Amino acid sequence: MNAIKRGLRALFLPLESAFEWAFGARLNPVTQLGTLGWFLFWIVTVSGIYVYVFFDTGVTQAWESLERLSRDQWWLGGIMRSLHRYASDALVIVVLLHALREFAMDRMRGNRWFAWVTGVPLIWFLYACGITGYWLVWDQLAQYVAVTTTEWLDTIGIFAEPIARNFLDSERLSGRFFTLMAYIHIAVPLLMLLAMWIHIQRHAHARVNPHRWLGIGTLAALTLLSLVRPAMSQAPANLDAAPFTLGFDWYYLTVYPLLQRMDGRWLWLILVGGSVFMTLLPWLPPLRRTAPARVDLPNCNGCARCFADCPFGAITMVARTDGLKFEQQAAVSDSLCMSCGICVGACPTATPFRRAGDLTPGIELPQRSIARLREQVVSAAATVQGELRVLVFGCAHDAGSAALADGSTAVIAMPCVGMLPPSFLDFILSRKHAEGILISGCAAHDCYERLGDQFTEQRIANERDPNLRGRVSRDRIAVSWNNPSRHASLRDDLARFREHLQAMSGQQAAASGPSAWRPPVAGAPQALRIAGQAVAYAAIAACVGYFATHPPFSYLGKDEALLKLSFSHAGQPLKPCRRYTPEELAKMPFSERRPTSCERGRWPVSVEIDLDGEPLYRGIHEPAGLWNDGPSSAYARFEVPAGRHRIDARLRDGGDPQRFEYQTSKVVDLTPGENFVVDFRATDGGFVFGRAQRDAAQRSGQ
Amino acid sequence: MTLLEWRDDFRIGIEEVDHEHQEMIGLINQLHAALGSERSGERVEAFLGDIFAGISAHFALEEKVMRARHYDGLAEHKADHERLLDDLRDMMDEHAAGAVLDDQAFAARLGEWFGAHFRTQDARLHKFLAR
């Protein structure tokens, strides 16, 4: 499992670095896949509502209404329809990458199990939305989706009668079932929205909007794609013919081609089993658990700064329990705490300045006490020498700050740099423990503990309590945010920080900037970076547009036809009914008297189909219902070569194994792509062959 | 002798804030006494550290109360807090640097420091809350 994660990280990290080069940290799409998902969801919702206004939910009018929308109103309706499709496709990419990345970075442990586990059903909802959406267009792809989905659902065996029978052929097409799909296509996204809301509940300050320019860029790219390659329907559905090849949306229908080769039950097992396995991932080894933060009541006055800064909502403010005259105190939920220490960095009593008693702040990590941190700072400072001594605070997920230690650089490791209270920076510089401080953390806006980098910068820049004291020179405090693959960049930042410190010591009174120092971004000119962004948008849009229809999928061989056997027929009762004798009737209460006594239970229905004298199908179908008194039903699909065939069909619905109550033979000419149905209706005298039915209907119509 | 006396008109009407004000006054008086009785650097440093941590926390609580009640003078009041903490840090640095502290002047500075804040900012908050 760890090897998989390492492999995925090796893929993700360079990609993230490349995107950061082009987009900058704030706009980097790879580090805000979740918010991008929300944004795409809203695009799909808005465009979906627009398309729904013009959409006709009747099965015969649906295709035409969409065709009109795309052709007569291409400038808005057509774009909306295309956005609806392409944003949905992009959503699949974003959601899957998001899940994969959180897995690769191991961001599903501890408290995060909640977001991970609630994310799994979201994937199911997403696919349900997409599949029902393709259904509604009622073109050939929709026909394929309808038939394949219902056949697949039938393999679970929860429906009394195969629901695929709703789409058997054009005569038996159920308009009501189709309209039901329209409502499911609205209901599932609503459920999905609810689930999305639950998904982010355990994250404090959860962001649901991407950076504005990233949103604008995404919308622009999708709109351009919609103009260049509008989403169109394929030929209208015709249930009497099976489609040969289909433009295929590989994002939503990925697993469907498997159903050509594989029993649907196996596919259910794989997908459900995979989801269960995915759900269990947060509890699979290697587990790491450090002690949660602890509140020290004598030092807590209930100021709520830790509550405001906890990225995981692990801290609540509760009524005072120790009798002191404060209203509230902080309380840590052990199960929610991730032990990042960001609360310690927020606590006003977490200072390194010597006190009468112990250096115990109102809240701290038992394994990482403030008193020890102070000791580490003082002893680390004592080990470094030279004119420019630099103390580095590195987090557990940075680009290897430990390796920076040398004669004039000391490194202090922390769980997250957000744990460092600003008063430590003041202490180090004012007490001359070092000439400069470098804070090294995760990639900007991608803190492993969610908000450590932002809070650190805001505290230094006087934008967030607790502030760094105004008089402390920000020019002596540098920040360097890098993903773990960018050790060279971190080393380079330290070197440039030293140069900066050197230059400062030359001029005595250097004006201090308002926020932490960072090396000026050198390298690529703005134009090149914008070009890089354009390339990224174009590549993603092209990827979305291409796999939404390509490569085409062959449903049926060129010279094949479909033969479907489907019926619902009640077998004979196990015992014939018998008339009550007058004596029996006399004994029965008046209200329960009836002429005959019928025992429940029916014979199974056995069917045999031969094609050109060779057995094609043999089946015994048990009656439905708890009392085995319902109809037996069957649904089977065969791909057969087109041409002339003799079909022999036999059906037994009674108890005599030597005898078939119904037998029919017929010679048919199957055209390529034909959908030929063998049905059975006892009221029509037995087997009904699709063509005969249609021919009869045509004759009577003439 | 005590440097600062708690007076009822210091009261701003919020129990937890008033409680802490009294605690702060107690601490400052202790420091004053320590300065008067001995010149033990470590002890004075520790008192200063206690006052710094205590006042930082106290200001944090007061700011939370002001925010919760949408106090219109918050920005100004908070700026005064920051100025006071800055001054206190200066005193700590001076002490750490080994400056010979004139205990009377030093204590007077602390006392004035607190008293002025009471008379101006906290009084204004009290008025606002009483409205």
For the stretch A168-187, pLDDT in tens is 777 677 777 778 888 899 99
Confidence bin at B39 (pLDDT 50/70/90): low
A211 or A701, which is more confident: A211
> CB distance A351–B53 less than 8 Å?
yes
Mean pLDDT of all residues belonging to chain A: 87
Q: Position of tokens 């002025």?
A: B116
Least confident of A73-77, A386-390, B36-40: B36-40
Interface test with A, best of B21, B44, B85 (most A CBs within 10 A): B85
Give Dmax (Cα) for chain A: 122
The Cα of B4 is separated from the nearest Cα of chain A by a number of Å equal to: 21
A229: amino acid identity, one letter: R
The Cα of A405 is separated from the nearest Cα of chain B by a number of Å equal to: 29
Rg, Å, chain B Cα set: 15
The Cα of B21 is separated from the nearest Cα of chain A by a number of Å equal to: 12
Handedness of CA A200, A205, A209, A213 (dihedral sign): negative
pLDDT value of residue B101: 62
> CB distance B50–A426 less than 8 Å?
no
Comparing CB atoms, the residue among A304, A353, A465 nearest residue B92 is A353
Confidence bin at A702 (pLDDT 50/70/90): very low
pTM: 0.83
> CB distance A304–B58 less than 8 Å?
no
Which of these, A216, A252, A222, A236, lies nearest to A79 by C-alpha position?
A222
Q: Indicate the DSSP class of residue A164.
A: G
- Can you read off the two tokens belonging to residue A70? 């795309």
Confidence bin at A370 (pLDDT 50/70/90): very high
Q: Indicate the DSSP class of residue A379.
A: H
Q: Which residues contact B48 (CB under 8 A, 6 or more apart)?
A: A353, B31, B88, B91, B92, B95
**Is residue A298 predicted with pLDDT exceeding 70?**
yes
B129: amino acid identity, one letter: L
Comparing CB atoms, the residue among A348, A354, A466 nearest residue B45 is A354
Comparing CB atoms, the residue among B16, B49, B53 nearest residue A325 is B16
Beta bridge partners of A638: A563
Say how far apart CA A380 and CA A395 lie, in whole Å. 16
> CB distance A303–B64 less than 8 Å?
yes
- A259 in Cβ contact with A148 (< 8 Å): yes
Q: Which residues of chain A are at the B interface, by a Cβ-Cβ cutoff of 8 Å?
A: 299, 301-305, 324-327, 348-349, 351, 353-357, 361-362, 423, 426, 430-431, 465-467, 469-471
- Can you read off the two tokens belonging to residue A339? 């032990």
The Cα of B82 is separated from the nearest Cα of chain A by a number of Å equal to: 8
Comparing CB atoms, the residue among B15, B46, B57 nearest residue A355 is B46
Beta bridge partners of A480: A440
The Cα of A436 is separated from the nearest Cα of chain B by a number of Å equal to: 18
Q: Is B116 helix (H, G, I), strand (E, B) or coil?
A: helix
Q: Which chain A residue's Cα is nearest to B50?
A: A355
Comparing CB atoms, the residue among A299, A301, A470 nearest residue B20 is A301
- A62 in Cβ contact with A55 (< 8 Å): yes
Segment 28-87 of chain B within 8 Å of chain A by CB: 42-43, 45-50, 52-54, 56-61, 63-64, 82, 85-86
**Is residue A161 predicted with pLDDT exceeding 60?**
yes
The Cα of A430 is separated from the nearest Cα of chain B by a number of Å equal to: 8
Q: What are phi and psi of A611, to 5 degrees?
A: -115, 120
The Cα of B105 is separated from the nearest Cα of chain A by a number of Å equal to: 22
For A192-246, the pLDDT digits (tens) are 999 999 999 888 888 888 899 999 999 999 999 998 988 888 888 877 777 778 8
CB-count burial class (<10 Å; 0-12, 13-18, 19+) for A142: buried
Comparing CB atoms, the residue among A324, A354, A426 nearest residue B49 is A354
Q: What are phi and psi of A642, to 5 degrees?
A: -70, 160
Segment 92-111 of chain B within 8 Å of chain A by CB: 92-93, 96
Neighboring chain B residues of A303 at a CB cutoff of 8 Å: 57, 60-61, 63-64
Comparing CB atoms, the residue among A349, A361, A469 nearest residue B89 is A469
> CB distance B52–A466 less than 8 Å?
no
Comparing CB atoms, the residue among A327, A355, A467 nearest residue B82 is A467
Say how far apart CA A268 and CA A153 lie, in whole Å. 9
> CB distance A356–B86 less than 8 Å?
no
**Is residue A541 predicted with pLDDT exceeding 60?**
yes
Segment 2-31 of chain B within 8 Å of chain A by CB: 15-16, 19-20
Q: Which chain B residue's Cα is nearest to A431?
A: B93
Segment of A164-168, A268-272, B71-75 carrying the highest mean pLDDT: A268-272
Rg, Å, chain A Cα set: 35
pLDDT value of residue A692: 47
Which of these, A599, A600, A598, A618, lies nearest to A608 by C-alpha position?
A618
- Hey, how many other C-beta atoms are within 10 angstroms of the C-beta on B28? 22
A330: amino acid identity, one letter: A
CB-count burial class (<10 Å; 0-12, 13-18, 19+) for A391: buried
**Is residue A609 predicted with pLDDT exceeding 90?**
no
Which of these, A83, A89, A75, A91, lies nearest to A49 by C-alpha position?
A83
Q: How many A×B Cβ pairs under 8 Å?
A: 80
The Cα of B62 is separated from the nearest Cα of chain A by a number of Å equal to: 8
A211: amino acid identity, one letter: H
CB-count burial class (<10 Å; 0-12, 13-18, 19+) for B9: exposed
- Strands A675-681, A560-569: pairing is parallel
> CB distance A465–B63 less than 8 Å?
yes
Interface test with B, best of A295, A300, A303, A364 (most B CBs within 10 A): A303
Neighboring chain A residues of B59 at a CB cutoff of 8 Å: 348
Interface test with A, best of B61, B77, B82, B94 (most A CBs within 10 A): B61
Segment of A51-55, A286-290, A328-332, A583-587 carrying the highest mean pLDDT: A328-332
For A645-689, the pLDDT digits (tens) are 888 888 888 777 888 888 888 888 888 888 888 888 877 778 887
Confidence bin at A414 (pLDDT 50/70/90): very high
pLDDT value of residue A523: 62
Neighboring chain B residues of A302 at a CB cutoff of 8 Å: 16, 61, 64
> CB distance A471–B86 less than 8 Å?
yes
Mean pLDDT of all residues in A623-632:
79
Confidence bin at A701 (pLDDT 50/70/90): very low
A115 or A574, which is more confident: A115
A300: amino acid identity, one letter: C
**Is residue B129 predicted with pLDDT exceeding 80?**
no
For B10-26, the pLDDT digits (tens) are 777 788 888 888 888 88
Q: Is A679 helix (H, G, I), strand (E, B) or coil?
A: strand
Which of these, A185, A29, A7, A37, lies nearest to A119 by C-alpha position?
A37
Q: Which chain B residue's Cα is nearest to A466?
A: B60
